[in-house]
Chains A and B, each alone.
Chain A
């Protein structure tokens, strides 16, 4: 960790240089103040809906159904969370969601990593065609093929089962997984492979000892992104499965009863459902942007 201090010093100097050197055209003091104000207003407007969910979730029922809204919970309560948590099917659908998501991510990771290895490390006949397939299926919305998917899974008695949805979710996240992992495998210098091979390592050993450990962080980032996608899905699972076999998103969707919407528990349920997504997202957000647009700027 010797490098830390000089590195941050360089960064500080660079930042200073960036600020002092920016072109001065149209950069009046008033302009800067206006820009800062606009930036703050933008942040406020963007964040407000999220704040309002949190605000509602902690209010007692009478305060929610009050014609003059309160801008912070006057009677702070956790009741909404407990009633969401104990609502019918919540815990069941929570467990289902975790099982399906973990299964889909692991499946996509194994299958996708193998394909990524082939694309990144071998030049073979049909390689371009496979890249084309992977890229184009990324754009077929699964909702569009939901009808035949439903009929097909029904033939195999896989509707209203966790396995059927898991398989569909693997395909949902597979194209992204292959494409991103390909980039990470390519990041491992080929010279390392060759050196190992010269030292007598088998191809499998090269994979196991060199490529796999070095792509570890990439695998984590990719799997988190897959987790987010699979966790967020609700149309497919809502169509294929009945309530006992759904996930939390589908549970949220059906939370409106004939007596109207119970906003407090719904908002609390939304927070509980979105929390893993938000946390994971914040961890890997850098990789998400890079993954989606890899090479677009510098390429």
Chain B
């Protein structure tokens, strides 16, 4: 490929099909034939999704307007309709705004760090010797493959106050006393640990995906930029990033969705009983529902969470749709 016909030089117009009968129309007809077959094929899939995801979603919405606790659950009492009481309780609860703020702040920080470091690593991978690149890939593959739960248990062990290797290492620094230091007594430090777990586990997906994207950047373009006198920073901003942008949107949106729903790491790190300073939306809803047996209130929070998340999904859906449309 020569330099001139890139980027996105409009493809040579396809000459209209010779025969007026048009192959396009014929293909369309071929595809349409199927009658009821496609509906029969998708039916089981849709039925399962409707039963185990659609119906629960609806029921969750209904629940959020009800009072449903242990008495209703086991006392054969019908759930009591309470209108907007659950929502009123949430929105007048100062803790709610703290939890939302904490969840958003965590999402912004963790996604920002993961994407930036991931991009940096992806660029670094194109710069290092092949043997070093393989080392990086192997390390990342193992991290990527670690189940969240195992990864979190691992970090708990690393930062254990008595026997954790991290305290021991920091304690080696002259003048610093970190023996028996507890990382979770101070929520700021605790959140640093939680964020580290999430970022550590999130880097491989982003770095490897972006690295794959970088291999698609035509070298001719970069060379042309360099010949035209662009610095490597300019080449990165003006040539590489625009090509990488669709991928960046996808990985960022996915990270937002994943990190906004943070649950496992907090839950495991705090032994299934997160203190107030460690609650995020998902853990809060779960605690209220299953520990306090207040299913209505938990549902209301879950609804709010899903609504907040929809904002992030819009971008993702648009991108995925563009991909789906290429078919």
Taking a contact as CB atoms closer than 8 A, the residue among A38, A147, A231, A266 that contacts B60 in the complex is: A147
B324 on the A face (CB < 8 A): yes
A contact residues around B157 at 8 Å (CB): 52-53, 56, 263, 266-267
Contact check, A151 vs B295: say whether CB atoms are below 8 A apart.
yes
Among A136, A232, A256, the residue within 8 A (CB) of B317 is: A136
**Given contacts A39-B133, A67-B162, A274-B145, are A118 and B55 in contact (CB under 8 A)?**
no
Whether, in the assembled complex, A96 has its beta carbon less than 8 Å from a beta carbon of chain B, the answer is no
Asked if B44 is an interface residue, CB under 8 A from chain A, the answer is yes
Chain B interface mostly helix, strand, loop or mixed? helix
* Chain B: CB-nearest residue to A238: B272
Please tell me which one of the listed residues B31, B46, B226, B286 contacts residue A146 in the complex, with CB atoms under 8 A apart. Answer: B286
Q: How many A-B residue pairs have CB under 8 A?
A: 307
Instruction: Give residues 278-316 of B contacting A (CB, 8 Å).
Output: 282, 285-286, 289-290, 295, 298-299, 302, 305-306, 309, 313, 316
Check A139 against B42 for contact (C-beta < 8 Å).
no
Q: Does A200 contact B (CB under 8 A)?
A: no
Contacting B at CB under 8 A, from A114-153, are 114-115, 117-124, 127, 130-137, 139-152
Our pick among B30, B216, B226 for the contact of A25 (Cβ within 8 Å) is: B226
Question: Which residues on A sit within 8 Å (CB–CB) of B132?
Answer: 36, 39-40, 43
Q: A119-B42, A293-B247 are in contact. Are A143 and B324 (CB under 8 A)?
A: no
* A231 → chain B closest CB, angstroms: 8
Against B, the Cβ 8 Å flags (1 = close, 0 = not) of A229-267 are: 001101100010000000001001100100001010011
- Hey, which chain A residues are within 8 Å of B295, CB to CB? 147, 151
A289 interfacial by beta-carbon distance below 8 Å: yes
Interface membership of B188, Cβ < 8 A: no
Bound-complex Cα distance A150 to B295 (A): 10
Query: Is there a chain A Cβ closer than 8 Å to B113's Cβ?
Result: no
Partner of B45, one of A39, A178, A239: A178
Interface size counted on chain B using CB atoms at 8 A: 115
Q: Which of B6-14, B84-92, B99-107, B257-265 contacts A (4 or more CB under 8 A)?
A: B257-265
Q: Nearest-CB distance from B47 to chain A (Å)?
A: 9
Complex Cα gap A281–B56 (Å): 31
A-B contact pairs, 25 of them (CB 8 A): A23-B235, A36-B132, A39-B124, A39-B125, A40-B132, A46-B200, A49-B155, A111-B48, A118-B38, A122-B31, A123-B28, A135-B317, A144-B302, A145-B60, A147-B60, A148-B57, A170-B48, A171-B48, A175-B49, A234-B264, A267-B154, A277-B147, A292-B209, A293-B251, A297-B246
